[in-house]
Structure 1
Amino acid sequence: MAKSSTQTFYGTNNRKNQTHKTRRQVVEEFVDEWVDKDNNGIIKEDANRQPFIDDLLRRVCGIEQPTQYIQYEKDVQVKADGEVTTRRIDGYIPSTKVMWEMKGSNKKDLTKPIVQSGGDMLTPYEQAKRYANFLPQNEQPRWIVISNFVEIDIHDMNKPLADPKVIMLKDLATNYKALDFMVDTNQQQIIDEKQLSVDAGNLVAKIYDELSKAYSLHANIDDPKIQSSLNMLIVRLVFLLYADDTGILGQENMFQNFLERREPRDIRPALITLFETLDKDPDKGERDEFLDQEYLQFKYVNGGMFSNENVIIPQFTQELKDLIVNEAGKGFNWSSISPTIFGAVFESTLNSKLRRSGGIHYTSIENIHKVIDPLFLDDLRAEFDKIQNMVNVNQRVSAAVEFQDKIAKLKFFDPACGSGNFLTETYLSLRKLENECLKIIVGNSGVINLGEQNLTEVKVKIQNFYGIEINDFAVAVARTAMWIAESQMWDESQNIIYSNEDFLPLDSN
């Protein structure tokens, strides 16, 4: 199975859209642009501080959506001479607790005091420190960054007596790693997943519209059978696109190549045969041995994904083929999509009337954790933290094995699960805990073959997650989301333990 894509500091490491520039090259471009601005005249603070910080976060630190990552003009109530006034912090990053204070490039010496609005003489750092002192305790900055577009002064608040680290902008290309403290990789991953899901939602909506047009050429699009077929066909197509980008069907881009080789008029019968093939087990002799090898090379999927033979497939148009092959296939990487947000992607294709009548809505990952963390995850994490801190190695390994067995026996039920967001995020959270257990069990010996040590096996199964939902399309989405979550976590587990076991076929549940 292909490893899931990872975030690099200079952009997404996307196999389909890889940048050919190193991080240093991108930083050099950033430096050249902003140094040139300074040489052409004074860079004014008010007009340029946000564009400068945005650009630095994006190109130097790899934050692809900086406006979602940093708060600008954050209000703080400051008391001076008995009066309370509102001041604004130029920039504040909540996830890494970094405060920015910007000055114009005419302020050549950042250590010199400047007259404040109240008449006080304070250096830019003293000004920022005053603001910081009036923030709530949980928002106190870990770092204070002062800049005048010419230099960047980094004050580490854990070392209050130390001099700041000073980086001249012209030298940033050799010092860019000094700014990595501003990056919260977990927060960035959430931002990336949100953006990826928005992009995926737009693609699903386009496919939905093109499929609707294709159906309407020969059928009534409002027919319940057609609507059900349309929804199920979209789920299947996106599952195959995901499988293409992870290689779980045998190799990458199998489905994309399968469609690309065909004229639009030949795709409908080809898909009918392919779906039937994907649902037949070759080990049980269910497949037609005289079928073309092009079909037989696809692995058996199982799990009910392709078992419904009543799904009506329309005649494909050139526009529909191009959309799936080029834009949704070659132009997008589905392997990194968040399975928790998967439901929202598909629910966006449902019309507003059905959304209202079915009570379908999307709950964010952050809000899901506001429910599941205090219910059980906080306690489980606290228990695991104690295990991690055990000094005796044998005791730590034994406790990790017991803890893994404990979480593997837990069962979860959502009586109105929709497309499975709560179930999927709970599964992912438990599997991440389990992977941490496996790291303790494996220890310093590195990757261990499952056949060599029975202790090192994945025990948290999607069979322990149950849901009830009245909408059949949402059920199909929920099942698929859980399979994608299982695939992604299995991929991560194989970085800790080794198994020659294939992800497919899926389990029927």
Structure 2
Amino acid sequence: MNAVEIEEAVSALAEQPFDAEEFPYLFLLAFGNKDTTIKRLRATKGSTNASDIPGAVLQRNNIHIAPCQPGEVTRTLTTLRNSSATSKAKAKFILATDGETFEAEELDTGETVACAYTDFPNHFGAFLPLAGITTVKQIRESSFDIRATSKLNRLYVELLKDNPDWGTADRRHDMNHFMARLIFCFFAEDTDIFQDGHSFTNTVDTMTERDSSNTHAVIGELFRAMNTPTAERKKAGIARYADRFPYVNGGLFSGSPEVPRFSKIARSYLIHIGALDWTKINPDIFGSMIQAVADDEERGALGMHYTSVPNILKVLNPLFLDDLRERLNEADDNARMLLNLRKRMARIRVFDPACGSGNFLVIAYKEMRAIEAEINNRRGEADRPSEIPLTNFRGIELRDFPAEIARLALIIAEFQCDVLYRGQKLALAEFLPLNAENWITCGNALRLDWLSVCPPTGTGVKHSADDLFHNSLDQPQIDFENEGGETYICGNPPYLGSRWRDKEQQDDLANLFSHRSQSYKDLDYVAAWYLKSADYIRLIPNAESALVATKSICQGEQVSMLWPLIFEQKLEISFAHRPFHWSNLASSNAGVTVVIVGIRSISAGKKKLYDENDKRLVDNIGPYLIPTGNVIVCKESRPINSLPRMDYGNKPTDGGNLILDRAEKDALLYLHPTAKYFVKEYVGSSEFIGGIPRFCLWISDDQIDQAFEIPDIRTRIENVKILRSESKGTQANANAKTPHRFVFAPHREGSAIIVPRVSSERRPYLPVGLVDDWTVISDRAAVIYNPETWLFSIIASRMHLVWIATVCVRMRMDFSYSNTLGWNTFPVPTLTDKMKADLTRCAEDILLAREAHFPATIAELYDPEEMPADLREAHDRNDEVLERIYIGRRFRNDTERLEKLFDLYTKMTAKPGSKNKKKAGAA
């Protein structure tokens, strides 16, 4: 269950008559427990209920719940807290209620909930860990935003039932616009913008029939009033009940006042939504949740899409907010310096070209208002109006409803900041009517000219697009003084690898990249925003950018596709967050590993490199996000590091006819014992890692007559001949006359090192093994034939893993091993015979440790949670021996390992005669 589904279940429980006996089970069901789990808790025999208190229910590792007699809630909660069963079962929460009062406590933190029973749904966010939602505290406490989203979603779905035409493409904008109007009205009535208590909700409740027959007409009249100036209302014939509402306009209520028809259920939902306390709305959270209401594809994951404030600040703080705060600290109480800083802030533009519902813009605005408020306080001007205009917070969004919500979220954020820093009276006096300027553009950011949306100093908006609060094509021209102002591009654009893009998105990339480079099709979609940002910064003085992206744009082949195009524009990486997990509000904590990369014009200033909680000031950040020069690793057809050749394994192209599973192999040998001379083990990535037995027919040219005497083998070979003859592939066609052989067969007698081409990044080391010549290594693995044993030590090291993780292509979340990009380029110091002997012993120790745990598979041995201690110790010794060869000591972390490797790579490729010299030196 996601958070919104949980809120709905909890709300339904609170509305039911209290049943002391059933409450614990119903509460657990509301948080996603299965019926079978509840059945075991209820059981009289073999019950999983660990409670030592009569009538209570204790779910191990979760919660201890006790219904109680009236007036006994606090005493019962104390009993739960002191219960030995609570401690023994490692309960995270305790909860007591008598149906009138509700009290609970999170035992690890000591945080408590105490409220009327009917109000406990308002606090459901505190219990989200019961459903496995262990996200950041700010999200768990966003109970209002989740509840409001949940109820608005129910209203939205109910309205579409009775107004199906409003769900069509032609009318979807009208429906979304209607929802934006409602959200504003709910917020306005609770914050005194309407200055009459719950006037909107009360008016709808009072003036509409209980059968809902005129609900749409009453709401439409209210909207018409909010779009009509007071002086014109008599002429417009505004109804008396609507006349007391203020003139709002600003595009929000212009256009058609038409409202969808309401059923009795929809009317009831609207009244309940209006009863919520909308003063608690958090626009940066609420906006990203509410946009899912209007998106069919996202509604199933409602409430899961949320970008946490701490993650947003990882972008905004180093981009420009940290500098503003530093200037504030330097100014202290110096009135002139404070005034200059305030003037500077008034000219700063924040531009999110993939703004969604405006999270980044709202957070940037709120943070800047906080700094401005401190300036005003120090200057003794606390009541001074803000000089930071909303029009300085520009955005582009492809879909119209998130774009509407982005503008509405900024409007709400502005009012909340005015109330916080200037007081309710001044905030209300200046809030209405809304400004009609449009600073969020709805369109395709990769096709629009960013200069027209966020123009250079002294010019207005030239781009025309649908106004977000009505359908006019005349976007207002926004002119403002911004002499010397700064522009900061920020955001979290869509990632989308090449396999997940539709044709329009593929065309977007082609339109942007094809005239600059032919190698772009494998770039992630987000790379386009980086290139557009670079183009913008090249033309606009005082512009910088910082975007969230998949880590793959700073790894593998994508580095050489993207970063030379950025560096050639005389730009640099100004700061970067190395890969970290960007999670969202989901019980599965779904998320993706990302990087944040800032770019700006080349400067002499230090660059900031973040790695988890560590921050370093460095001279340069390379495209792999390490403190090196702008080195880009390129494929090499041969090793440039004095290591032996590594091939890919043997490729059959046989339609499965040359490959056998265990049952097929056993059946063949049972019927034809002489077939054993033509059967070898066949091992690729999955077979080696998972211990999956597979076999192949391996027939040399001088064995073909003997092999053909076996009917089953002859049939298989004839099938291969047919397949290759009919194939459109040139390699298959060329080998049709030798169907008994693999089309690519580097296999040699003797031992071999096998390295799977695809393996999980969760493992602490790359899987590598030694096999004999009775094993044929498939093309799903790389191979070194007749190797010296010390090579095993190098491949099994942490040094080699971090190199592969950085310079090779990724497959989803797995490593994708490349011989040309990873092995042929891997920097290795010159090794003496003594060093090779030491590494050989390390390799043998690793193999012996594996052998001690036979028949455990590689997957089992290298499970990060279950790796045997002796195997881990053998690898640790191997790492120590190898790393001392590199620098005489152990490396402190992976970043330091990469720094050394890239330093060696730069020297290695700068040698005379190296074809990679130019590319390696600077991109």
Match of 1:400 among 322, 325, 338: 338
Match of 1:299 among 246, 251, 255: 246
Q: 2:385 corresponds to which residue?
A: 457
Secondary structure at the aligned position of 1:412 is classed as strand
Checking the alignment, whether the CA contact within 8 Å between 1:280 and 1:287 is kept in structure 2 is no
For 1:69 and 1:438, how far apart are their aligned partners in 2? Answer: 41
Q: 1:423 corresponds to which residue?
A: 361
1:121-270 alignment to 2 at 5 Å?
Answer: 191-193=140-142, 195-216=143-164, 220-261=165-206, 262-263=208-209, 264-270=212-218
Q: 1:435 corresponds to which letter in structure 2? A: A
Checking the alignment, whether the CA contact within 8 Å between 2:163 and 2:260 is kept in structure 1 is yes
Q: 2:402 corresponds to which residue?
A: 474
For 1:37 and 1:346, how far apart are their aligned partners in 2? Answer: 38
Are residue 336 (structure 1) and residue 264 (structure 2) matched? no
Deviation digits for residues 118-174 of structure 1 (CA, Å, limit 9, x no counterpart)? xxxxxxxxxxxxxxxxxxxxxxxxxxxxxxxxxxxxxxxxxxxxxxxxxxxxxxxxx
Structure 1 residues 260, 303: CA separation in 2 closer, same or farther (over 3 Å shift)? same
User: Identical aligned pairs, as a percentage?
Assistant: 27
Checking the alignment, whether the CA contact within 8 Å between 1:339 and 1:484 is kept in structure 2 is yes
For 1:383 and 1:364, how far apart are their aligned partners in 2? Answer: 26
Q: 1:226 corresponds to which letter in structure 2? A: R
Deviation of 1:363 after TM superposition, in Å, equals 2.8
Deviation digits for residues 358-414 of structure 1 (CA, Å, limit 9, x no counterpart)? xx9653322211111111111112222233xx3xx5x2x333232222111111212
Structure 1 residues 244, 34: CA separation in 2 closer, same or farther (over 3 Å shift)? closer
Secondary structure at the aligned position of 1:418 is classed as coil
Structure 1 residues 30, 410: CA separation in 2 closer, same or farther (over 3 Å shift)? farther
Checking the alignment, whether the CA contact within 8 Å between 2:180 and 2:404 is kept in structure 1 is yes
Structure 1 residues 323, 42: CA separation in 2 closer, same or farther (over 3 Å shift)? closer
Checking the alignment, whether the CA contact within 8 Å between 1:301 and 1:505 is kept in structure 2 is yes
Deviation of 1:254 after TM superposition, in Å, equals 1.0
Q: 1:32 corresponds to which residue?
A: 75
Structure 1 residues 189, 469: CA separation in 2 closer, same or farther (over 3 Å shift)? closer
Q: 1:293 corresponds to which letter in structure 2? A: R
Secondary structure at the aligned position of 2:111 is classed as helix
Deviation of 1:354 after TM superposition, in Å, equals 7.6
Q: 2:916 corresponds to which residue?
A: none
Match of 1:47 among 78, 89, 96: 89
Q: 1:414 corresponds to which residue?
A: 352
For 2:428 and 2:280, how far apart are their aligned partners in 1? Answer: 23
Are residue 441 (structure 1) and residue 368 (structure 2) matched? no
Q: 1:209 corresponds to which letter in structure 2? A: V
TM-score, normalising length: structure 1: 0.59
Structure 1 residues 487, 415: CA separation in 2 closer, same or farther (over 3 Å shift)? same
Larger radius of gyration: 2
Are residue 491 (structure 1) and residue 436 (structure 2) matched? no
Q: 1:150 corresponds to which residue?
A: none
Deviation of 1:319 after TM superposition, in Å, equals 1.1
Checking the alignment, whether the CA contact within 8 Å between 1:233 and 1:313 is kept in structure 2 is yes
For 1:289 and 1:215, how far apart are their aligned partners in 2? Answer: 28
Structure 1 residues 464, 364: CA separation in 2 closer, same or farther (over 3 Å shift)? same
For 1:38 and 1:245, how far apart are their aligned partners in 2? Answer: 38
Deviation of 1:290 after TM superposition, in Å, equals 5.1
Q: 1:319 corresponds to which residue?
A: 265
Deviation of 1:334 after TM superposition, in Å, equals 1.7
Q: 1:291 corresponds to which letter in structure 2? A: I
Deviation of 1:273 after TM superposition, in Å, equals 2.2
Are residue 501 (structure 1) and residue 448 (structure 2) matched? no
Deviation of 1:58 after TM superposition, in Å, equals 1.4
Deviation of 1:252 after TM superposition, in Å, equals 2.0
Structure 1 residues 48, 227: CA separation in 2 closer, same or farther (over 3 Å shift)? same
Q: 2:377 corresponds to which letter in structure 1? A: K
Give unpaired runs (5+ residues) of structure 1: 1-27, 73-92, 95-186, 451-455
For 1:504 and 1:348, how far apart are their aligned partners in 2? Answer: 29
Checking the alignment, whether the CA contact within 8 Å between 1:207 and 1:234 is kept in structure 2 is no
Deviation of 1:236 after TM superposition, in Å, equals 0.9
Deviation of 1:347 after TM superposition, in Å, equals 1.7
Q: 2:269 corresponds to which letter in structure 1? A: L
For 2:428 and 2:408, how far apart are their aligned partners in 1? Answer: 23
Structure 1 residues 398, 251: CA separation in 2 closer, same or farther (over 3 Å shift)? farther
Q: 1:453 corresponds to which residue?
A: none
Q: 2:313 corresponds to which residue?
A: 369
Deviation of 1:438 after TM superposition, in Å, equals 2.0
Deviation of 1:427 after TM superposition, in Å, equals 0.9
For 1:323 and 1:69, how far apart are their aligned partners in 2? Answer: 28
Secondary structure at the aligned position of 2:431 is classed as coil
Checking the alignment, whether the CA contact within 8 Å between 1:278 and 1:298 is kept in structure 2 is yes
For 2:187 and 2:427, how far apart are their aligned partners in 1? Answer: 22
For 1:197 and 1:37, how far apart are their aligned partners in 2? Answer: 31
Q: 2:357 corresponds to which letter in structure 1? A: S
Deviation of 1:222 after TM superposition, in Å, equals 4.5
Q: 2:402 corresponds to which letter in structure 1? A: A
1:64-75 alignment to 2 at 5 Å?
Answer: 65=125
Q: 1:423 corresponds to which letter in structure 2? A: L
Secondary structure at the aligned position of 1:363 is classed as coil
Q: 1:175 corresponds to which residue?
A: none
Q: 2:324 corresponds to which residue?
A: 380
Structure 1 residues 38, 291: CA separation in 2 closer, same or farther (over 3 Å shift)? closer
Structure 1 residues 196, 37: CA separation in 2 closer, same or farther (over 3 Å shift)? closer
Deviation of 1:269 after TM superposition, in Å, equals 2.0
Checking the alignment, whether the CA contact within 8 Å between 2:146 and 2:286 is kept in structure 1 is no
Secondary structure at the aligned position of 2:316 is classed as helix
Question: How many residues in Structure 1 have an aligned counterpart in Structure 2?
Answer: 341
Q: 1:54 corresponds to which letter in structure 2? A: E
Q: 2:281 corresponds to which letter in structure 1? A: I
Q: 1:47 corresponds to which letter in structure 2? A: A
Q: 2:340 corresponds to which letter in structure 1? A: E
Structure 1 residues 401, 500: CA separation in 2 closer, same or farther (over 3 Å shift)? farther
Secondary structure at the aligned position of 1:228 is classed as helix
Structure 1 residues 35, 496: CA separation in 2 closer, same or farther (over 3 Å shift)? closer
- Higher relative contact order by CA 8 Å / sep ≥ 6: 1 or 2? 1
For 2:249 and 2:258, how far apart are their aligned partners in 1? Answer: 19
Checking the alignment, whether the CA contact within 8 Å between 2:415 and 2:427 is kept in structure 1 is no
Deviation digits for residues 254-296 of structure 1 (CA, Å, limit 9, x no counterpart)? 101110011122222222222222112225x466375333222
Give unpaired runs (5+ residues) of structure 2: 1-70, 95-104, 115-121, 438-923
Structure 1 residues 196, 467: CA separation in 2 closer, same or farther (over 3 Å shift)? same
Q: 2:318 corresponds to which letter in structure 1? A: P
Deviation of 1:243 after TM superposition, in Å, equals 0.9
Deviation of 1:491 after TM superposition, in Å, equals 0.8
Secondary structure at the aligned position of 2:162 is classed as helix
Structure 1 residues 274, 400: CA separation in 2 closer, same or farther (over 3 Å shift)? same
Secondary structure at the aligned position of 2:93 is classed as helix
Of residues 266-275 and 51-60 in structure 1, the stretch that sits farther from structure 2 once superposed is 51-60
Deviation of 1:502 after TM superposition, in Å, equals 3.2
